[in-house]
Structure 1
Protein backbone atom coordinates (compact mmCIF):
# COMPACT_ATOMS: atom_id res chain seq x y z
CA UNK A 1 0.00 0.00 0.00
CA UNK A 2 1.50 3.28 -1.16
CA UNK A 3 0.47 6.89 -1.24
CA UNK A 4 -1.54 8.07 -4.27
CA UNK A 5 0.58 9.45 -7.11
CA UNK A 6 -0.58 13.11 -6.78
CA UNK A 7 0.14 13.14 -3.04
CA UNK A 8 3.55 11.52 -3.58
CA UNK A 9 4.37 14.12 -6.25
CA UNK A 10 3.44 17.05 -4.00
CA UNK A 11 5.30 15.65 -1.01
CA UNK A 12 8.35 15.00 -3.18
CA UNK A 13 8.30 18.57 -4.50
CA UNK A 14 7.87 19.89 -0.96
CA UNK A 15 10.84 17.82 0.26
CA UNK A 16 13.11 19.02 -2.54
CA UNK A 17 12.12 22.62 -1.82
CA UNK A 18 12.49 22.52 1.97
CA UNK A 19 15.21 19.96 2.70
CA UNK A 20 17.56 20.31 -0.28
CA UNK A 21 20.72 22.37 0.19
CA UNK A 22 20.75 25.13 -2.47
CA UNK A 23 24.48 25.84 -2.03
CA UNK A 24 25.51 22.45 -3.34
CA UNK A 25 26.31 23.14 -6.98
CA UNK A 26 28.03 19.86 -7.74
CA UNK A 27 27.85 16.42 -6.20
CA UNK A 28 30.42 15.12 -3.81
CA UNK A 29 31.86 11.94 -5.29
CA UNK A 30 32.26 9.74 -2.24
CA UNK A 31 33.05 6.09 -2.62
CA UNK A 32 30.06 3.81 -2.24
CA UNK A 33 27.52 6.62 -2.09
CA UNK A 34 24.98 4.55 -4.02
CA UNK A 35 25.07 1.85 -1.34
CA UNK A 36 25.06 4.19 1.66
CA UNK A 37 22.17 3.61 4.07
CA UNK A 38 20.47 6.88 5.00
CA UNK A 39 17.76 5.44 7.25
CA UNK A 40 17.84 6.95 10.74
CA UNK A 41 18.41 4.47 13.56
CA UNK A 42 17.25 6.89 16.33
CA UNK A 43 14.06 7.59 14.39
CA UNK A 44 13.41 3.88 13.89
CA UNK A 45 13.93 3.15 17.59
CA UNK A 46 11.56 5.98 18.49
CA UNK A 47 8.93 4.63 16.08
CA UNK A 48 9.34 1.16 17.57
CA UNK A 49 8.68 2.44 21.09
CA UNK A 50 5.80 4.60 19.86
CA UNK A 51 4.04 1.54 18.45
CA UNK A 52 3.95 0.01 21.93
CA UNK A 53 3.32 3.24 23.81
CA UNK A 54 0.35 4.43 21.75
CA UNK A 55 -2.07 1.65 22.85
CA UNK A 56 -1.19 2.44 26.47
CA UNK A 57 -1.82 6.15 25.83
CA UNK A 58 -5.14 5.37 24.14
CA UNK A 59 -6.39 3.17 27.01
CA UNK A 60 -5.40 5.79 29.60
CA UNK A 61 -7.05 8.58 27.60
CA UNK A 62 -10.31 6.66 27.20
CA UNK A 63 -10.44 5.73 30.90
CA UNK A 64 -9.71 9.31 31.99
CA UNK A 65 -12.32 10.59 29.54
CA UNK A 66 -14.96 8.31 31.05
CA UNK A 67 -14.08 9.42 34.57
CA UNK A 68 -14.28 13.16 33.92
CA UNK A 69 -16.91 13.15 31.15
CA UNK A 70 -19.89 13.97 33.44
CA UNK A 71 -18.05 17.01 34.84
CA UNK A 72 -17.10 18.57 31.50
CA UNK A 73 -19.11 21.28 29.71
CA UNK A 74 -20.97 20.11 26.62
CA UNK A 75 -18.64 21.81 24.14
CA UNK A 76 -15.58 20.31 25.84
CA UNK A 77 -17.18 16.87 25.69
CA UNK A 78 -17.54 17.18 21.93
CA UNK A 79 -14.06 18.65 21.49
CA UNK A 80 -12.31 16.02 23.59
CA UNK A 81 -14.05 13.08 21.92
CA UNK A 82 -13.22 14.54 18.50
CA UNK A 83 -9.59 15.09 19.48
CA UNK A 84 -9.16 11.51 20.73
CA UNK A 85 -10.63 10.14 17.49
CA UNK A 86 -8.43 12.40 15.36
CA UNK A 87 -5.29 11.55 17.32
CA UNK A 88 -6.02 7.83 16.92
CA UNK A 89 -6.51 8.04 13.15
CA UNK A 90 -3.53 10.33 12.62
CA UNK A 91 -1.24 8.18 14.75
CA UNK A 92 -2.00 5.02 12.77
CA UNK A 93 -1.26 6.79 9.48
CA UNK A 94 1.74 8.60 10.94
CA UNK A 95 3.45 5.48 12.24
CA UNK A 96 2.84 3.64 8.97
CA UNK A 97 4.35 6.47 6.94
CA UNK A 98 7.28 6.70 9.34
CA UNK A 99 8.09 3.00 8.99
CA UNK A 100 7.73 3.05 5.20
CA UNK A 101 9.67 6.27 4.70
CA UNK A 102 12.54 5.48 7.03
CA UNK A 103 13.12 1.78 6.35
CA UNK A 104 12.60 1.93 2.59
CA UNK A 105 14.15 5.41 2.22
CA UNK A 106 11.06 6.89 0.57
CA UNK A 107 11.11 10.67 0.72
CA UNK A 108 7.36 11.36 0.16
CA UNK A 109 6.30 8.97 2.93
CA UNK A 110 8.83 10.35 5.39
CA UNK A 111 7.83 13.90 4.49
CA UNK A 112 4.18 13.01 5.15
CA UNK A 113 5.18 11.55 8.51
CA UNK A 114 7.06 14.74 9.40
CA UNK A 115 4.19 17.01 8.39
CA UNK A 116 1.59 14.97 10.29
CA UNK A 117 3.79 15.00 13.39
CA UNK A 118 4.53 18.72 13.29
CA UNK A 119 1.28 20.24 12.01
CA UNK A 120 -1.43 17.94 13.39
CA UNK A 121 -0.37 15.49 16.08
CA UNK A 122 1.85 17.75 18.15
CA UNK A 123 -0.70 20.62 18.37
CA UNK A 124 -3.48 18.19 19.33
CA UNK A 125 -1.42 16.67 22.15
CA UNK A 126 -0.31 20.10 23.37
CA UNK A 127 -3.96 21.17 23.42
CA UNK A 128 -4.81 18.26 25.71
CA UNK A 129 -1.75 18.92 27.86
CA UNK A 130 -2.12 22.65 28.51
CA UNK A 131 -5.85 23.34 28.30
CA UNK A 132 -6.94 23.39 31.94
CA UNK A 133 -10.59 23.56 30.92
CA UNK A 134 -10.36 19.85 30.10
CA UNK A 135 -9.85 19.07 33.83
CA UNK A 136 -6.62 17.18 33.22
CA UNK A 137 -6.00 14.28 35.61
CA UNK A 138 -2.47 13.33 36.82
CA UNK A 139 -2.22 10.09 34.80
CA UNK A 140 -3.53 11.87 31.75
CA UNK A 141 -0.95 14.63 32.10
CA UNK A 142 1.84 12.07 32.49
CA UNK A 143 0.99 10.15 29.31
CA UNK A 144 0.55 13.40 27.37
CA UNK A 145 4.01 14.55 28.45
CA UNK A 146 5.57 11.28 27.27
CA UNK A 147 3.68 11.52 23.98
CA UNK A 148 4.89 15.10 23.52
CA UNK A 149 8.50 14.07 24.12
CA UNK A 150 8.18 11.30 21.52
CA UNK A 151 6.69 13.70 18.98
CA UNK A 152 9.25 16.46 19.54
CA UNK A 153 12.12 13.99 19.22
CA UNK A 154 10.66 12.45 16.06
CA UNK A 155 10.10 15.85 14.43
CA UNK A 156 13.77 16.80 14.95
CA UNK A 157 15.23 13.43 13.93
CA UNK A 158 12.92 13.07 10.92
CA UNK A 159 13.95 16.54 9.73
CA UNK A 160 17.62 15.56 9.81
CA UNK A 161 16.90 12.21 8.13
CA UNK A 162 14.89 13.91 5.39
CA UNK A 163 17.62 16.44 4.75
CA UNK A 164 20.23 13.71 4.41
CA UNK A 165 17.97 11.56 2.25
CA UNK A 166 17.04 14.36 -0.16
CA UNK A 167 20.66 15.47 -0.53
CA UNK A 168 21.79 11.93 -1.27
CA UNK A 169 19.06 11.49 -3.88
CA UNK A 170 20.11 14.77 -5.50
CA UNK A 171 23.73 13.59 -5.50
CA UNK A 172 22.77 10.33 -7.18
CA UNK A 173 20.76 12.20 -9.79
CA UNK A 174 23.64 14.57 -10.62
CA UNK A 175 26.15 11.71 -10.73
CA UNK A 176 23.97 9.86 -13.23
CA UNK A 177 23.78 13.00 -15.36
CA UNK A 178 27.57 13.30 -15.30
CA UNK A 179 27.92 9.63 -16.25
CA UNK A 180 25.57 10.12 -19.19
CA UNK A 181 27.51 13.18 -20.35
CA UNK A 182 30.80 11.28 -20.10
CA UNK A 183 29.41 8.33 -22.05
CA UNK A 184 27.98 10.58 -24.77
CA UNK A 185 31.28 12.50 -25.11
CA UNK A 186 33.25 9.23 -25.35
CA UNK A 187 30.83 7.95 -27.98
CA UNK A 188 31.20 11.14 -30.00
CA UNK A 189 35.00 10.88 -29.85
CA UNK A 190 34.93 7.27 -31.04
CA UNK A 191 32.58 8.08 -33.91
CA UNK A 192 34.75 11.04 -34.94
CA UNK A 193 37.90 8.90 -34.94
CA UNK A 194 36.20 6.19 -37.00
CA UNK A 195 35.14 8.77 -39.58
CA UNK A 196 38.66 10.18 -39.75
CA UNK A 197 40.09 6.69 -40.27
CA UNK A 198 37.53 5.70 -42.88
CA UNK A 199 37.68 8.95 -44.94
CA UNK A 200 41.23 10.40 -44.89
CA UNK A 201 40.89 11.51 -48.54
CA UNK A 202 39.95 8.63 -50.74
CA UNK A 203 38.76 5.35 -49.41
CA UNK A 204 40.24 2.14 -50.84
CA UNK A 205 37.37 1.32 -53.26
CA UNK A 206 37.42 4.84 -54.68
CA UNK A 207 41.22 4.66 -55.07
CA UNK A 208 41.00 1.40 -57.07
CA UNK A 209 38.37 2.93 -59.35
CA UNK A 210 40.61 5.97 -59.90
CA UNK A 211 43.57 3.74 -60.80
CA UNK A 212 41.52 1.68 -63.26
CA UNK A 213 40.27 4.80 -65.07
CA UNK A 214 43.84 6.07 -65.37
CA UNK A 215 44.94 2.76 -66.97
CA UNK A 216 42.05 2.90 -69.46
CA UNK A 217 42.89 6.47 -70.46
CA UNK A 218 46.59 5.54 -70.89
CA UNK A 219 45.83 2.55 -73.10
CA UNK A 220 43.48 4.63 -75.23
CA UNK A 221 46.11 7.29 -75.81
CA UNK A 222 48.72 4.67 -76.82
CA UNK A 223 46.39 3.22 -79.47
Structure 2
Protein backbone atom coordinates (compact mmCIF):
# COMPACT_ATOMS: atom_id res chain seq x y z
CA UNK A 1 0.00 0.00 0.00
CA UNK A 2 2.83 2.39 0.86
CA UNK A 3 4.58 1.60 -2.42
CA UNK A 4 1.41 2.49 -4.35
CA UNK A 5 1.09 5.80 -2.48
CA UNK A 6 4.78 6.54 -3.06
CA UNK A 7 4.42 5.75 -6.79
CA UNK A 8 1.29 7.91 -7.05
CA UNK A 9 3.07 10.79 -5.34
CA UNK A 10 6.08 10.48 -7.69
CA UNK A 11 3.85 10.33 -10.77
CA UNK A 12 1.93 13.38 -9.58
CA UNK A 13 5.19 15.29 -9.01
CA UNK A 14 6.48 14.26 -12.43
CA UNK A 15 3.23 15.28 -14.14
CA UNK A 16 3.22 18.67 -12.45
CA UNK A 17 6.86 19.22 -13.40
CA UNK A 18 6.34 18.32 -17.06
CA UNK A 19 2.91 19.96 -17.42
CA UNK A 20 2.97 22.96 -15.08
CA UNK A 21 -0.44 24.24 -14.08
CA UNK A 22 -0.85 27.63 -12.44
CA UNK A 23 -1.44 27.14 -8.75
CA UNK A 24 -3.72 24.14 -9.15
CA UNK A 25 -2.48 22.45 -6.01
CA UNK A 26 -3.00 25.61 -3.94
CA UNK A 27 -6.45 26.09 -5.42
CA UNK A 28 -7.28 22.44 -4.71
CA UNK A 29 -6.28 22.76 -1.08
CA UNK A 30 -8.12 26.07 -0.86
CA UNK A 31 -11.31 24.72 -2.45
CA UNK A 32 -11.42 21.58 -0.32
CA UNK A 33 -12.26 23.79 2.65
CA UNK A 34 -14.82 25.92 0.84
CA UNK A 35 -18.48 25.37 1.78
CA UNK A 36 -19.58 25.37 -1.86
CA UNK A 37 -17.70 22.23 -2.85
CA UNK A 38 -19.46 19.55 -0.84
CA UNK A 39 -21.22 16.74 -2.70
CA UNK A 40 -24.97 17.28 -2.94
CA UNK A 41 -25.99 14.06 -4.68
CA UNK A 42 -29.29 12.86 -3.22
CA UNK A 43 -28.96 9.42 -1.65
CA UNK A 44 -32.75 8.77 -1.39
CA UNK A 45 -33.19 9.68 -5.05
CA UNK A 46 -30.28 7.47 -6.07
CA UNK A 47 -31.69 4.55 -4.08
CA UNK A 48 -35.10 5.02 -5.71
CA UNK A 49 -33.51 5.14 -9.16
CA UNK A 50 -31.43 2.06 -8.41
CA UNK A 51 -34.44 -0.04 -7.37
CA UNK A 52 -36.52 1.43 -10.18
CA UNK A 53 -33.96 0.22 -12.73
CA UNK A 54 -34.34 -3.34 -11.43
CA UNK A 55 -38.13 -3.08 -11.21
CA UNK A 56 -38.63 -1.68 -14.73
CA UNK A 57 -37.97 -4.94 -16.67
CA UNK A 58 -40.31 -6.83 -14.33
CA UNK A 59 -42.97 -4.14 -14.84
CA UNK A 60 -42.72 -4.12 -18.64
CA UNK A 61 -42.73 -7.95 -18.90
CA UNK A 62 -45.78 -8.14 -16.63
CA UNK A 63 -47.58 -5.48 -18.67
CA UNK A 64 -46.86 -7.24 -21.97
CA UNK A 65 -47.98 -10.65 -20.67
CA UNK A 66 -51.17 -9.26 -19.11
CA UNK A 67 -51.97 -7.26 -22.25
CA UNK A 68 -51.47 -10.35 -24.38
CA UNK A 69 -53.87 -12.33 -22.16
CA UNK A 70 -56.69 -9.80 -22.41
CA UNK A 71 -55.95 -8.24 -25.82
CA UNK A 72 -58.67 -10.11 -27.73
CA UNK A 73 -61.31 -9.18 -25.12
CA UNK A 74 -60.64 -5.44 -25.33
CA UNK A 75 -62.36 -3.03 -27.67
CA UNK A 76 -60.26 -1.71 -30.55
CA UNK A 77 -59.95 1.74 -29.01
CA UNK A 78 -58.73 0.23 -25.74
CA UNK A 79 -56.23 -1.94 -27.61
CA UNK A 80 -54.84 1.16 -29.31
CA UNK A 81 -54.74 3.13 -26.04
CA UNK A 82 -52.94 0.35 -24.14
CA UNK A 83 -50.31 -0.16 -26.85
CA UNK A 84 -49.71 3.58 -27.21
CA UNK A 85 -49.46 4.19 -23.46
CA UNK A 86 -47.08 1.26 -22.88
CA UNK A 87 -44.81 2.30 -25.77
CA UNK A 88 -44.68 5.91 -24.53
CA UNK A 89 -44.11 4.85 -20.92
CA UNK A 90 -41.35 2.39 -21.85
CA UNK A 91 -39.44 4.91 -23.96
CA UNK A 92 -39.91 7.64 -21.40
CA UNK A 93 -38.80 5.38 -18.56
CA UNK A 94 -35.49 4.51 -20.22
CA UNK A 95 -34.76 8.17 -20.93
CA UNK A 96 -35.98 9.25 -17.51
CA UNK A 97 -33.82 6.79 -15.58
CA UNK A 98 -30.76 7.68 -17.66
CA UNK A 99 -31.24 11.42 -17.02
CA UNK A 100 -31.87 10.76 -13.33
CA UNK A 101 -28.66 8.79 -12.93
CA UNK A 102 -26.62 11.31 -14.91
CA UNK A 103 -28.12 14.36 -13.24
CA UNK A 104 -27.94 13.04 -9.69
CA UNK A 105 -24.53 11.35 -9.71
CA UNK A 106 -22.73 14.02 -11.72
CA UNK A 107 -24.67 16.91 -10.15
CA UNK A 108 -25.94 18.25 -13.47
CA UNK A 109 -28.95 20.45 -13.00
CA UNK A 110 -30.30 20.35 -16.62
CA UNK A 111 -30.33 16.54 -16.71
CA UNK A 112 -31.93 16.33 -13.29
CA UNK A 113 -34.54 18.89 -14.34
CA UNK A 114 -35.26 16.83 -17.46
CA UNK A 115 -35.67 13.73 -15.31
CA UNK A 116 -38.05 15.54 -12.97
CA UNK A 117 -40.14 17.00 -15.81
CA UNK A 118 -40.45 13.63 -17.56
CA UNK A 119 -41.50 12.08 -14.27
CA UNK A 120 -44.08 14.75 -13.48
CA UNK A 121 -45.49 15.47 -16.94
CA UNK A 122 -45.48 12.03 -18.58
CA UNK A 123 -44.94 9.11 -16.23
CA UNK A 124 -47.15 10.23 -13.35
CA UNK A 125 -50.30 10.94 -15.44
CA UNK A 126 -49.85 7.87 -17.65
CA UNK A 127 -49.30 5.55 -14.71
CA UNK A 128 -52.30 7.01 -12.88
CA UNK A 129 -54.38 6.65 -16.07
CA UNK A 130 -53.46 2.97 -16.51
CA UNK A 131 -54.07 2.23 -12.84
CA UNK A 132 -57.37 4.10 -12.42
CA UNK A 133 -59.01 3.98 -15.85
CA UNK A 134 -57.50 0.83 -17.34
CA UNK A 135 -60.02 -1.78 -18.37
CA UNK A 136 -60.10 -5.37 -17.15
CA UNK A 137 -57.05 -5.12 -14.84
CA UNK A 138 -55.65 -8.34 -13.45
CA UNK A 139 -54.60 -8.35 -9.76
CA UNK A 140 -50.94 -8.80 -10.74
CA UNK A 141 -51.22 -5.95 -13.21
CA UNK A 142 -52.78 -3.70 -10.61
CA UNK A 143 -50.05 -4.63 -8.10
CA UNK A 144 -47.14 -3.78 -10.42
CA UNK A 145 -48.82 -0.50 -11.41
CA UNK A 146 -49.23 0.45 -7.74
CA UNK A 147 -45.54 -0.22 -7.07
CA UNK A 148 -44.57 1.70 -10.22
CA UNK A 149 -46.78 4.61 -9.21
CA UNK A 150 -45.16 4.56 -5.76
CA UNK A 151 -41.72 4.89 -7.37
CA UNK A 152 -42.90 7.73 -9.59
CA UNK A 153 -44.58 9.70 -6.78
CA UNK A 154 -41.55 9.26 -4.50
CA UNK A 155 -39.18 10.35 -7.30
CA UNK A 156 -41.29 13.44 -8.04
CA UNK A 157 -41.08 14.55 -4.41
CA UNK A 158 -37.44 13.62 -3.78
CA UNK A 159 -36.42 14.83 -7.25
CA UNK A 160 -37.88 18.26 -6.56
CA UNK A 161 -35.98 18.52 -3.27
CA UNK A 162 -32.73 17.29 -4.90
CA UNK A 163 -33.18 19.71 -7.80
CA UNK A 164 -33.73 22.62 -5.44
CA UNK A 165 -30.68 21.73 -3.30
CA UNK A 166 -28.49 21.16 -6.35
CA UNK A 167 -29.48 24.40 -8.07
CA UNK A 168 -28.84 26.37 -4.86
CA UNK A 169 -25.48 24.62 -4.56
CA UNK A 170 -24.56 25.53 -8.16
CA UNK A 171 -25.48 29.17 -7.53
CA UNK A 172 -23.32 29.20 -4.40
CA UNK A 173 -20.41 27.64 -6.30
CA UNK A 174 -20.76 30.30 -8.99
CA UNK A 175 -20.67 33.10 -6.41
CA UNK A 176 -17.69 31.52 -4.63
CA UNK A 177 -15.85 31.25 -7.94
CA UNK A 178 -16.53 34.93 -8.62
CA UNK A 179 -15.25 35.74 -5.13
CA UNK A 180 -12.10 33.65 -5.75
CA UNK A 181 -11.52 35.45 -9.05
CA UNK A 182 -11.75 38.83 -7.31
CA UNK A 183 -9.30 37.72 -4.60
CA UNK A 184 -6.92 36.36 -7.25
CA UNK A 185 -7.03 39.67 -9.13
CA UNK A 186 -6.38 41.62 -5.92
CA UNK A 187 -3.43 39.40 -4.91
CA UNK A 188 -1.96 39.48 -8.38
CA UNK A 189 -2.08 36.78 -11.02
CA UNK A 190 0.80 34.26 -11.04
CA UNK A 191 1.42 35.19 -14.68
CA UNK A 192 1.42 38.96 -15.00
CA UNK A 193 1.63 40.98 -18.17
CA UNK A 194 5.34 41.70 -17.51
CA UNK A 195 6.18 38.02 -17.40
CA UNK A 196 8.27 37.27 -20.55
CA UNK A 197 6.96 33.71 -20.72
CA UNK A 198 3.33 34.78 -21.31
Tell me the TM-score normalized by structure 1. Answer: 0.67
What's the CA shift for 1:177?
1.5
Unaligned ranges ≥5, structure 1: 1-29, 188-223
What residue is the counterpart of 1:198 in the other structure?
none
What residue is the counterpart of 2:136 in the other structure?
135
Deviations 1:15-54, CA, capped at 9 Å, x for gaps? xxxxxxxxxxxxxxx9432431100111111111111101
Deviations 1:69-128, CA, capped at 9 Å, x for gaps? 111111110010011111110111011111111111111111110000000011111010
Distance 1:157 1:120 in 2: 17
What residue is the counterpart of 1:117 in the other structure?
119
What residue is the counterpart of 1:153 in the other structure?
154
Distance 1:185 1:50 in 2: 50
For these two proteins, the number of residue pairs brought into alignment is: 160
Higher relative contact order (CA 8 A, sep 6+): 1
What's the CA shift for 1:136?
1.4
Q: Between Structure 1 and Structure 2, whose CA radius of gyration is higher?
A: 1
Distance 1:57 1:183 in 2: 55
Return structure 1 stretches of 4+ with deviation > 4 angstroms. none
Distance 1:183 1:95 in 2: 41
Please list, as runs of the form range in 1=range in 2, the aligned pairs for 1:70-89 lying within 5 A after superposition: 70-89=72-91
What's the CA shift for 1:179?
2.3
Tell me the TM-score normalized by structure 2. Answer: 0.75
